[in-house]
Amino acid sequence: MPLPPFEAVPNFSEGRDEKKIGRIANSVRSVPGVRILGLHSDPDHNRSVLTFAGEEEPLLHASVALARACAVEIDLSAQKGEHPRMGSLDVLPFVPLGDATLEDAARLARRVGEEIGALGFCVYLYEAAATAPHRRNLADIRRGGYEGIASRIDDPLWKPDYGPQKLDPRLGAVAVGARPFLIAFNAYLDTDNVEIARAIARRVRERDGGLPGVKALGLMVGGKAQVSMNLTDLEKTSMPVALEAIRAAAREHGAQVESTELVGLAPLEAILQTARYYLSLRELKMEHVLESGLWGVEDS
Amino acid sequence: MPLPPFEAVPNFSEGRDEKKIGRIANSVRSVPGVRILGLHSDPDHNRSVLTFAGEEEPLLHASVALARACAVEIDLSAQKGEHPRMGSLDVLPFVPLGDATLEDAARLARRVGEEIGALGFCVYLYEAAATAPHRRNLADIRRGGYEGIASRIDDPLWKPDYGPQKLDPRLGAVAVGARPFLIAFNAYLDTDNVEIARAIARRVRERDGGLPGVKALGLMVGGKAQVSMNLTDLEKTSMPVALEAIRAAAREHGAQVESTELVGLAPLEAILQTARYYLSLRELKMEHVLESGLWGVEDS
């Protein structure tokens, strides 16, 4: 039961009209070989996130179908929402799963970028697919949203990688990229002192000498201090190891982790790691999970 | 992605000849609608355990096909092994999964018992399918193995429920029953003092006023004291709750849990419970596991 090689996690600028959202999702669902794993719509941000997975060719076709459906269903010039949107299809990252590499995902992103550009979107490649170091970071591409891009597009440093060299106001610009798989895992503290969350984040994140594969920020969310983490390499730092580091650092500040949350999906292996760690299990593999046999094994 | 209603966990008296074992497993595999979840053969006991799941009708057909294959492949009168065997197909429990009840599983056991009896096996119904209180316990039916049953079969209390009233020496007797799903979960201590394991088992098991849904015994296994548990109701007592009780009781005896093992399969929900418990997760459902979407959802 191998994972498919790639996951795509597009964000598009419609989070309110269920019929439009349904038609956009159906454009992907109707491509053979593509599995939709999740769809989350946020009416405040007027934005939806779709997750789908499959082999390279089905994902290419599904991505083009998605861009076409966004072009039909969404008029960016009439769109309102809290999120600084830049395109009707706004961002389209490809993530390697299973045996695929980040470079495989970047190649897929470039192929998709070229085809979506031909539909009339200004396409910027980012992260592992970026064509220049100053264009790796999504936040730098998105700065100022649609209007920011409009103001920069004639600067040779910000020329789109594919598509027209002038923004179509209905379509806008889309960032197409490749990034590693990550788990978004947040810990809420029993304090409203965000400085404690920031100090803990600095202690645990790789950038400041902490745990490998851990990115972390201290934030205020819903009146609680939150350590917001991305875990990018579960073999180096698993969820329990990251959390125990946060719990220990919190204790030094007289605080405690009150609860945690997982944003989006986690691979089963991350959950099995957690059970092995805390239960001191000698062995726990996918085959020991009842449902994996029911769902995944054709013949064993 | 609902679970199928039933799981069957037959034991048959061949654990050495891989070709015979393969043909017996294939008799089940070839029935449409049946999923084989596991096959474990033990050459010392000369015995194999097969796990398969499905709806009622496919499981009925697969069980009859299995009994027929055991009748063809195994001559019990020539069979040797450490286990006190009573039949070529030896024991066949049905376990309700998903929405099925124990009574549904008992009904299936009775239907299967009748059909297998017609093949020439002496059939004893046990546990939730038993026809009398003194025949509920598998150990009481099995007492003395084949020879014990041969000595009792003319006693009206031990008349078979189905099949001939005299043992066929090639086939023997089979116990067909229904029991609740259980997780077999064992904790190894850092001591060779089995009395500590026994004291801990008494402390945590339901029978002696401990945790609901927990059966436990203290054993010596591989030179270590082991608390061997069956967890029969995960909603009442989950793996982490059972283990933390054992860890606390062990500390009172100056011992520690060195490692644990899961024997057989656990439902994904048991693993998710564990992750929620130790990570203080606000929410973790099946849908948050990447693979559940890949394997189980046709359309979502």
CA distance A81 to A74: 13
On whether the A6-178 domain is CATH 3.40.50.720, my answer is no
Tell me the mean pLDDT in the region B190-214: 97
- B2 contact partners, CB below 8 Å, separation of at least 6: B98, B99
Which of B172-176, B195-199, B282-286, B287-291 shows the lowest per-residue confidence on average (mean pLDDT)? B287-291
Residues B111-135 pLDDT 10s: 999 999 999 999 999 999 999 999 9
Tell me which residues of chain B, numbers 140 to 169, contact chain A at a CB-CB cutoff of 8 Å. none
Q: Spell out the domain ranges in chain A.
A: 6-178, 183-265, 267-300
Residue type, A126: Y
What residues of chain B lie within 8 A of the CB of A238, using their CB? none
Q: Do A293 and B37 touch (CB under 8 A)?
A: yes
What residues of chain A lie within 8 A of the CB of B264, using their CB? 288
CATH number of A183-265: 3.30.70.670
Superfamily of domain B183-266: Formiminotransferase, C-terminal subdomain (3.30.70.670)
Of A35, A97, A293, the CB nearest to B35: A293
Answer whether residue A224 shows pLDDT above 70: yes
pTM: 0.79
Answer whether residue A298 shows pLDDT above 50: no
What residues of chain B lie within 8 A of the CB of A259, using their CB? 280-282
What residues of chain A lie within 8 A of the CB of B265, using their CB? 288-290, 293
Q: Do A271 and B271 touch (CB under 8 A)?
A: yes
Measured N-to-C along each axis, helices B56-73 and B102-117 cross at an angle, to the nearest 10 degrees, of 40
Instruction: List active site positions of B.
Output: 83
Tell me the mean pLDDT in the region B81-96: 88
Which of the four pLDDT bands, split at 50, 70 and 90, describes residue A86? very high
- Are A96 and A71 a contacting pair, CB within 8 Å? no
Which of the four pLDDT bands, split at 50, 70 and 90, describes residue B297? very low
DSSP-derived 3-state class of residue B274: helix
Alpha-carbon gap: B2 to the closest alpha carbon of chain A (Å): 9
CA distance A244 to B233: 29
CA distance A243 to A254: 16
Which of A214-223, B7-16, B242-251, B266-275 shows the lowest per-residue confidence on average (mean pLDDT)? A214-223
Tell me the pairing of strands B11-12 and B47-54. Answer: antiparallel
Mutation for A interface: B39, B260, B279, most A CBs within 10 A:
B279
Residues A100-149 pLDDT 10s: 999 999 999 999 999 999 999 999 999 999 999 999 999 899 999 999 99
Answer whether residue B230 shows pLDDT above 80: yes
CA distance B149 to A93: 67
Q: ipTM score of the complex?
A: 0.78
Rounded to the nearest integer, the mean pLDDT of chain A is: 93
- In percent, how much of chain A has pLDDT > 70? 96
Tell me the pairing of strands B34-42 and B11-12. Answer: unpaired
Any CB–CB contact under 8 A between B276 and chain A? Answer: no
Q: What is the pLDDT, as a whole number, of residue A48? A: 92
Of B4, B271, B290, the CB nearest to A289: B271
Of B37, B268, B278, the CB nearest to A278: B278
Answer whether residue B136 shows pLDDT above 60: yes
Alpha-carbon gap: B122 to the closest alpha carbon of chain A (Å): 31
Residue A189 DSSP one-character state: E
- Are A194 and A225 a contacting pair, CB within 8 Å? yes
Tell me which residues of chain A, numbers 186 to 225, contact chain B at a CB-CB cutoff of 8 Å. none
Q: What is the pLDDT, as a whole number, of residue B290? A: 86
What residues of chain A lie within 8 A of the CB of B259, using their CB? 280-282
Of A3, A262, A284, the CB nearest to B294: A3
Interface A-B: count of C-beta contacts within 8 A: 158
Q: What is the pLDDT, as a whole number, of residue A55? A: 95
Q: Do A268 and B290 touch (CB under 8 A)?
A: yes
Residues B39-72 pLDDT 10s: 888 887 888 999 999 999 999 999 999 999 999 9
Tell me which residues of chain B, numbers 59 to 118, contact chain A at a CB-CB cutoff of 8 Å. 97
